[in-house]
Structure 1
Amino acid sequence: MHADVSRPADRYSPLYFLASLGAGGLSVSFFMYLFFWVKHPDQPVPVFEDIAKAFLEGGLLTQAMIVVAYLGIAVFAFLHYKLLIWNISQYRRLKGTAKWEELTTTNAETQLLAMPLTLAMAVNVGFVLGMVLVPGLWSVVEYLFPMALIAFALVGWLAFRQLGDFLGRVLTQGGVFDVTAHNSFAQLLPAFALSMVGVGFAAPAAMSTTPLIAGVSLIGSTFFGIAAALYAVFAAITGFNSMLHYGTARESGPTIMVVVPIMTVLGILFLRQDYGMNVTFGAETAAVENLAFLSRLLTVQVLFLMLGFVVLNRQGYWRQYIFGAEDSAGAYALVCPGVALSVMLHFWLNKGVVAAGLFDKFSVGYWAIAALAVAVQFLTIWFVLHLNRRHFGKIGRGAQAVPAE
């Protein structure tokens, strides 16, 4: 790394994986348009043939929606993989340096989990690209599901290996975990990574017609989902206790909102499992149960968003790291809640409100909530572009990317 830098990203932190993660999440968020607004009667998700038919038979608004969805998926998928490749390259350079030694001997070691988190997103984005771009994909999809399960299992193994290194160190060597630096929700990053692996693992449970594949998917996703939930509870309780004692670490303030994407990812995981149990194994779930379930998750998200904004506003985080003279790689943690809230609103609306009969699909009330989801999505897009200009643009400020602990 050069001594003279022209952009914050030149002083690398593993938290820059979150820049790639956010772009991947935005790509998937545009798939929500197709998922909920394009008919796909022959399979649980829309594929190229369904989208092409809707485009040819639909009106101008339908065609415009599909064009916007494709552009959004393509642009942010490209950005996602571009930033992923850059991060992997920088990560390899970081290993073995003095900064690496410092990173792996402090609380900040869990930042390394941002890599498997983003790799799991990369597999999800790849599947979305396949569905919308590859004709005839569904005819061979049963052969792809085992490959997807293997890919997610490998990413999960990487996540557990990194987490095992951290827990093995802090739980066997007394005094190496700094409780005074635990005053944030930064330690929830491993839970986020495990939940992302779990939601990917759950996809075949919802889409495969082979009971063995669906069953393996159900069992594996349960393992990762429960592991994520347990770790999240542990890290949140201990982190909140430290925050009450020492206040929230200024550079780690955005981590309070990491609960939001964890709720969305785990919510989709359990919905996929529920769909698979209904279709493949004959279980029955009332629509109102999904409405209640998703409403609970959405409530948790709103509460933590409110708490996060209170803390960030009181700390002056926006003035310092978003619009001010300093830069923090941890600011990218604010992208995930925006993406997650937008996606959750789509699921809550379609799988909860509409399915339970509160609104008719495409009614005025429906479009009011859908418009809110889209507004959150585009606000998040603006925020991503703003952060990318600050961190990756040659702005000549040379500010250091501050890693959250």
Structure 2
Amino acid sequence: MLFHMPRNLGERYSPLYFLAALGSGGLIVSFFMWLMAWVPHPGRPVPIFEDIVATLMNGSFAQQLAILGGWAGIALFAWMLFRLLIWNLREAAGWRRTAAYTALRESNSETQLLAAPLAVAMAINGGFILGLVFVPGLWSVVEYLFPLAMLGFLAIGVWALRLLGDFWGRILTRGGFDCSRNNGFSQLLPSFALAMIGVGLAAPAAMSQTPWVAGVSYIASSFFITMALMLGVIMLVIGLRAMMEHGADAESAPSLWVVVPIMTVVGIALMRQGHGLGVHFGSHGTPTDTFTMLTTFLSLQLAFALFGYVVMRRQGYFGRFVTGSERSAGSYVLVCPGVALAVILQFFINKGLVAIGLIDKFGMAYWLLTALPLMVQAATIWLVFTLNAKHFRVDRARKAPLASAER
């Protein structure tokens, strides 16, 4: 848990600690998927407070347990998200006055600064989920909230693009990017941030009943998703080349899994966009189209998950940085693929296999398959508590630095 947070870390702070807040925000989404899958919400793309209460009063015992568990999980990890976010913002303000910050701005690691807009974008997504599941009557005023939400995401997008502009402007005019130290996928963090902004901007396309709002949502989200994919492909190739020449850097090895959450976020954005195009502009996709996309994305994610696991197992990463005594802020990258797999598996089962009629909802095969995302979710929750105990307990913070150098 997070009962006592260390303060005034100064040079020991790392911007990658924003990923601790991000992971808690992702777990909010994973519990919201319980309500998406198991609470009826006719006529709406997402369940709202009124749907949840109606099912809680009249649904089966299993549905009632799922609702109570979903509510509890959302509330717990929302508290962790916002506490960690506030802590990071405070510590980052002090860290920016240190020599460590100046050195980072002149290194490959400058892109770590994108972890801040990434976490803030997740906080907006998490706040919207809180409103949907806990605030009565929110849906009656949601059309007024969508433009405000888009403005919020666009502001975060400008922040992220300015940080990226500083990085690319520096290395493309002065040089200095050390390719030999780029032996991982750490440089995919900006793609992750842009994709998170894109999926937030895509939400009104799926949920708004106002055509111009859905259209603006589609256009704005397409820009950030396209940029995320473009930068991602470039940095994927550069990072893979460096790894083949120098081997994967042990401390940044979790970055080998960052493709997994990027693909989940992009997949959700595309589903939201597709729904908006069908509702407002006559371009109706089929369940088979969604199934095909989810199958392709899930296959890519499993391939990268296996690739990263092979490398981290050979390097003994888990025994060193998760259950062992060594600490690295980059360990929080491990939370993101766990959340991403739990979420996309829920979509694959409910919007893929069930939607095309391959399995029956709530049948034996359905529950056997649903056990997979639930187990991944449980393992990810264990990982979050394990890392929080390792990194944020004050007694441990006094004994060793909380953050070490990342590439």
Cα drift, residue 325 of structure 1: 1.9
Establish whether residue 27 from structure 1 lines up as the match of residue 24 from structure 2.
Answer: no
How far apart, in 1, do the equivalents of 2:9 and 2:188 lie?
23
In the alignment, structure 1 residue 357 sits paired with structure 2 residue 357: yes
Which amino acid letter does the alignment assign opposite residue 132 of structure 1? V
Equivalent position of 1:126 in the other structure: 127
**Counterpart position of 1:287:** 287
List per-residue Cα deviations over 1:9-63 (Å, max 9, x = no partner): 7721000000000001001110001111101113111100000000000122111
Q: How does 1:97-246 map to 2 (within 5 A)?
A: 97-174=98-175, 176-246=176-246
Change in 2 beyond 3 A, CA 1:257/1:9: farther
Conserved? CA contact 2:107–2:177, under 8 Å: yes
Question: How big is the shift at 1:400?
Answer: 4.3
Quick one: distance in 1 between partners of 2:343 and 2:319?
28
Aligned counterpart, 1:75 = 76
Q: Superposition pairs for residues 234-383 of structure 1, below 5 Å? A: 234-383=234-383
Displacement of 1:395 in angstroms is: 4.0
The within-5 A match list for 1:55-94 is 55-94=56-95
Question: What residue identity is the alignment partner of 2:30?
Answer: S
> Percent of aligned positions with the same letter in both sequences?
50
Q: Match for 1:398: what amino acid?
A: A
In 2, the alpha carbon distance for the partners of 1:269 and 1:137 equals 22
Maintained 8 Å contact 1:330/1:403: no
Please say if residues 205 and 214 of structure 1, whose CA atoms lie closer than 8 Å, have aligned partners that are also in contact. yes
Q: Secondary structure at the match of 2:394?
A: coil
**Unaligned stretches of 5+ residues in structure 2:** none
> Are the aligned partners of 2:41 and 2:51 in contact in 1 as well (CA < 8 Å)?
yes
TM-score (norm. length: structure 2): 0.96
Distance in 2, Cα, partners of 1:388 & 1:32: 24
Per the TM alignment, residue 394 of structure 1 is displaced from its structure 2 partner at its CA by: 2.9
* CA distance in structure 2 between the aligned counterparts of 1:399 and 1:161, rounded to whole angstroms: 30
Give the SS at the match of 1:43: coil
Name structure 1 gaps, 5 residues minimum. Answer: none
RMSD of aligned alpha carbons:
1.4
Q: CA deviation at 1:323?
A: 1.8
> In the TM superposition, what is the alpha-carbon distance from 1:7 to its structure 2 partner?
10
- The residue that corresponds to 1:398 in the other structure is 400
Aligned AA (2:252): S
2:8 and 2:94 in contact (8 A); partners too: no
Q: CA deviation at 1:319?
A: 2.0
CA distance in 2, matches of 1:71, 1:329: 27
> Structure 1: how far apart are the matches of 2:38 and 2:282?
27
4+ residue segments displaced more than 4 Å: 5-10
Report the more deviating stretch, 162-171 or 6-15: 6-15
Q: Does 1:46 align with 2:47?
A: yes
SS of match in other structure, 1:280? helix
- Which shifted more, 274-283 or 72-81? 274-283
Q: Is the contact made by 1:341 and 1:376 (CA closer than 8 Å) also made in structure 2? A: yes
